[in-house]
Amino acid sequence: MITIERIPEPDGSIALWSVETALEGSAIGRRLLGHEQPVRASASVRGAAHAICWSSGRTLGNVEIFNKDVLTALPGQRGEDVEIGCDLVEAGRMRNGARRWWCRTHQAHWGTKTDIAAAHSSGHLLCSSHTQPMSFVVDPPSVRLDQHAEVGVWCSMPPAVTSAGVPRRRRPKIHVHIREEVAGKKVLDADVDALIVQYGTSGDLFGGTDPTTVNITPPAAFEFVTALETGRTMGYVACRDCGAPHLDLGEFGRVAHTKHLCGNCGRDGIRTAEPIASTPLKPLHDQFTSEPAFVDVDRTLNIDDYPGAPFAVWASTPAVLWTSDRPQERGIHVHLSIDGKREIDDTYGSVIYRGEELRRADLLTAMIAKTLV
């Protein structure tokens, strides 16, 4: 028989050993498999290096990875659609009373007899979904909202139309603008893999799930922006057991439900009185949107006036986060370069291309269709 022995380590993690015992009870083999993490990371762990990971096509969002075994085995500082290690936390008991674990990386339970036997022979803790392609970034950029005059965060999608023809499909990213003066020059205007937003200074009051920090990952941003754009209602709930913010993605992000499975601790004890699709971006967005109105831009641009100039066109999309008192602009966003220099980077109400007026709704549909989620 093979069982799991849990031995606490000084850093708060728990070493998981597999122990094979003979029928009469004597141990005939032991093997260190890896480390179980606390469900809530301590302040010291939170301050150390960590990563955020996510993947496309699934229904639960991810939490940060603090697990040193997983971090040291990551293939680089960032990755897209790669295999990364399992990150186990204790997750109560199975129906037969045996202990079970939850893999936060791949969002699957672990701990059946088959799982344990496989780990004992291979020396690796692998959940049933460990081959799922994942994207990750180590130490993602973080922004403190109280330290900048204006912060804007969007879901970056591929352009709808470019001078080079139909753009290729790509994964969504996070687009960030930071201004140190209201309506001033942007000090940051970039696409990033993921973003940590810090909106408070209360420290580690709530354990590992510090609610003053929100992680924005591409799938979460995409889900939220498409909800804003289509008028789909989003809600928010935290896990009753571990306090982690609950993030619904994919089908769960589109179909409201009352019973939610926690991506951080693997327990399904979250119930909401009303059916909702939950995202921590909802309270973040609502709390910091001081100006909810949009202005429809009335500038016009005729791309045909710039023959041969490379350009790209997007529908403007609502911001995930917009801390400015100025209303957001709604229209058609254009980048256009002349002699290698970006001459146009602006939003228009009317854009003519090949003699026809582009429609914002069509552009948005094209962008969503070209976004791989």
With binding defined as CB under 5 A, does residue 264 bind Zn ion? Answer: yes
With binding defined as CB under 5 A, does residue 242 bind Zn ion? Answer: yes
CA distance 331 to 361: 10
Residues 6+ apart with CB under 8 A from 329: 294, 295, 297, 316, 347
* Residue 287 near residue 337, CB atoms below 8 Å: no
With binding defined as CB under 5 A, does residue 204 bind Zn ion? Answer: no
Q: Looking at beta carbons only, is 144 or 257 nearer to Zn ion?
A: 257
Question: Residue count at the site for Zn ion (CB under 5 A)?
Answer: 16
Q: How far is the CB of 259 from Zn ion (least distance, A)?
A: 8
**Exactly one of 5, 11, 83, 241 binds Zn ion (CB under 5 A); which one?**
241
Report helix, strand or coil for 318: coil
Q: Looking at beta carbons only, is 241 or 329 nearer to Zn ion?
A: 241
Tokens for 135, please give them. 């994207």
With binding defined as CB under 5 A, does residue 220 bind Zn ion? Answer: no
Binding mask 127-166 for Zn ion (x = CB under 5 A): x--x------------------------------------
Q: How far is the CB of 343 from Zn ion (least distance, A)?
A: 12
CA distance 215 to 52: 8
Question: Alpha-carbon torsion 24, 99, 73, 106, what sign?
Answer: positive
Q: Looking at beta carbons only, is 53 or 242 nearer to Zn ion?
A: 242
Most distant CA pair in the chain: distance in Å?
Answer: 87
* Residue 171 near residue 373, CB atoms below 8 Å: yes
User: Can you list the pairs that 63-71 forms with residues at least 24 positions away whose Cβ atoms lie under 8 Å?
Assistant: 63/104, 63/215, 63/244, 63/263, 63/264, 64/215, 65/104, 65/105, 65/136, 66/37, 66/41, 67/13, 67/35, 67/37, 68/11, 68/13, 68/35, 69/34, 69/35, 70/105, 71/138
**Exactly one of 40, 175, 177, 260 binds Zn ion (CB under 5 A); which one?**
260
With binding defined as CB under 5 A, does residue 367 bind Zn ion? Answer: no
Q: How far is the CB of 239 from Zn ion (least distance, A)?
A: 3
Q: Looking at beta carbons only, is 109 or 120 nearer to Zn ion?
A: 109
Residues 6+ apart with CB under 8 A from 362: 160
Q: How far is the CB of 272 from Zn ion (least distance, A)?
A: 8
Q: Looking at beta carbons only, is 227 or 239 nearer to Zn ion?
A: 239
Report helix, strand or coil for 244: coil
With binding defined as CB under 5 A, does residue 262 bind Zn ion? Answer: yes
**Exactly one of 74, 239, 366, 373 binds Zn ion (CB under 5 A); which one?**
239
Which amino acid does the sequence have at 30? Answer: R
Q: How far is the CB of 108 from Zn ion (least distance, A)?
A: 6
CA distance 91 to 110: 9
Binding segment for Zn ion among 99-107, 161-169, 216-224, 291-299 (CB under 5 A)? 99-107
With binding defined as CB under 5 A, does residue 106 bind Zn ion? Answer: yes
Q: How far is the CB of 136 from Zn ion (least distance, A)?
A: 13
Q: How far is the CB of 54 from Zn ion (least distance, A)?
A: 14
With binding defined as CB under 5 A, does residue 119 bind Zn ion? Answer: no
CA gyration radius, the chain: 24
* Contacting positions for Zn ion (CB under 5 A): 86, 103, 105-106, 127, 130, 239, 241-242, 244, 248, 260, 262, 264-265, 345
